[in-house]
Amino acid sequence: MGFRNGQSTGGGTDGASGGSAAAGGTKGPGTIAQVRNPPGGRDARIMLGALFLDRTGNGAWTSAAVLYFTVVSGLGAGQIGLLLGVAGLVGIAGSPIAGRLAERFPVRAILTACHAVRVLTLCAVPLCHGFGPLLAVTTATTVCDRASKTMEILFATQVAGDQRATYRALTRVVMNAAFALGAGLAALTVAVGTRTAYNALVVADGLSYIAVAAMVLRTGRRAPERSAHSPATGNTGNTGNTGNTAKPRGRNPWRDSGYLVFVTLDIFLNLDDAVLMVGLPLWAVTHTDAPHAVIPAVLVINTLMVVFLQMPVSSRVVGTRPAARAVAWYGLALLGGCALIAGSACGGAAVATVTLLLAAVVLTVAELVRSLASWELAVSLAPADAQASYLGVAGMAQGIERSGGPVMLSTAVMAAGPVGWLGLGAVVTGLGVVQRVASLRRLDAMAAGVQPPQPVVAEAVA
């Protein structure tokens, strides 16, 4: 992800930004100072607070959900896997639905509605008995979670403008710190281990979204995306069509093959998440002699690196074209991480431990780059007059990866052993090169004024 001069909401192609410390050659303010005075001013600062509270509750519930369903709800392992799998698949639809709605309703209103639904669904969890009701509330929660993430991206493009790269990096720092705090709260709940403690955790998480929604409502109201980009209509002198006006409809991302190619490739270029959180732990337990303590150590390394290195990395991935070029480096970093994982099975406990910890470092570097480059390209490759719907489609990539990635890793890659890891890294590296070339070509076309055809329809005006 990066930011560009002269374009606050995407569709541009330049790579410089006047607000970058790297571009200016001087050291910028520290992370704490930027959190207090982020790009976008008051609204951005309020949203960072809302994100912190949101991700604290999310970290608590995510970390304790499987144990809750086991200890309190009495579900079996197969039922829990099915419940989370179905909720994840259905939740993918939340992103495009939210993007479509954002063309007609303000982002603030959609975010508030998502948080309100989560208040109801999470507080209802202790009242649900049996697989069916739990599936319903979990699915609704997941749909709203995916929808709200898409709206957070759109909010960033609206409020931070050319400095959205810095804002995105700040959100990553805040969200990771909050998630770690939530995981700590979940650990305390697990230590207590009673039904009352588990129920209190999930209800507290649900009620916290009341505060999150209240904070979102404190931000300034902005026009829906289509209204913001629609040209003003006036009297053209035609008196025969007083009741109807031809309005341009935003481009349809589902008919934009170039953007769909970007989204499809982006699914595979998000695999660092599944590798780090699922593949590496499973491999460590089943194929190496590393102690089990290496798994939480990997998560600690990942969290600390994101909190302390996301801002420095953001100053080096500045601009749309650098973001496109960085995708190829992401592939190489993932290949390096996969090679280290493969090599961890070739030694004893000490070798495996060191190799897996190094893999965690390299994979986190890949994550730091991907989180910036993928986000910036999703914004910049979308036409400005249909950015909301395009970002909704782009938001599906991570949801699909989170649903399919763990399955692929736990079956095909693990079954193939070290060769599977090397093959995975090689494939992702190749796809990173393809993404880089395709993105740069699309940016060149957009700079030359070549855009997908824009349909015009007659819409009745009340």
Q: Tell me the pLDDT tens digit for each residue of 81-126.
A: 888 889 989 999 999 999 999 989 999 999 999 999 999 999 999 9
Mean pLDDT for the chain overall: 83
Is 89 within the bounds of a domain? yes
> Which pair of structure tokens corresponds to residue 287?
């194929």
Pair 202, 252 in one domain? no
Residue 245 falls in which region: left (phi positive, over 0), alpha (psi -120 to 50) or beta:
beta
CATH of the domain at 73: 1.20.1250.20
| Largest CA-CA distance found in the chain, in angstroms, rounded | 84
Rounded CA-CA distance 158/47 in Å is: 12
User: Is 293 found in the same domain as 425?
Assistant: yes
141 plus 263 within the same structural domain: no
| Phi, psi angles (nearest 5°) of residue 375 | -65, -45
Q: Compute the average pLDDT of residues 42-60.
A: 92
Is 14 inside a domain boundary? no
In a shared domain, residues 181 and 126: yes
> 283 and 223, same structural domain?
no
Measured CA to CA in angstroms, residue 243 lies from 107, 227, 361 at distances of 29, 19, 62
Q: Do 206 and 172 belong together in one domain?
A: yes
Taking only the tens place, the pLDDT of each residue in 166-225 is 888 889 899 989 988 998 898 898 889 899 999 999 999 999 999 999 999 999 877 676
Q: 193: closest CA among 314, 93, 71, 59?
A: 71
| Model pLDDT, residue 455 | 40
146 and 97 in one domain?
yes
189 falls within a domain:
yes
What are 226-253's pLDDT values in tens digits?
555 554 444 434 434 434 444 445 588 9
Domain contains 241: no
In this structure, the answer to whether residues 426 and 299 fall within a common structural domain is yes
Residue 182 belongs to some domain of the structure: yes
Looking at the predicted structure, is the pLDDT value of residue 458 above 50?
no
The domain boundary residue, chosen from 192, 227, 262: 227
Domain residues for the domain of 296 are: 248-447
218 and 255 in a single domain? The answer is no
Report how many domains make up the chain.
Answer: 2
**Which H/E stretch holds residue 245?**
strand 244-248
46 within domain boundaries: yes
Q: Say if 459 falls within a structural domain.
A: no
Looking at per-residue pLDDT, the higher value among 236 and 400 belongs to 400
State whether 266 and 218 are in the same domain.
no
One domain, residues 433 and 390: yes
**165 with 222, same domain?**
yes
The per-residue pLDDT for range 140-165, each reduced to its tens digit, is 999 999 999 999 988 988 888 777 77
Domain presence at residue 343: yes
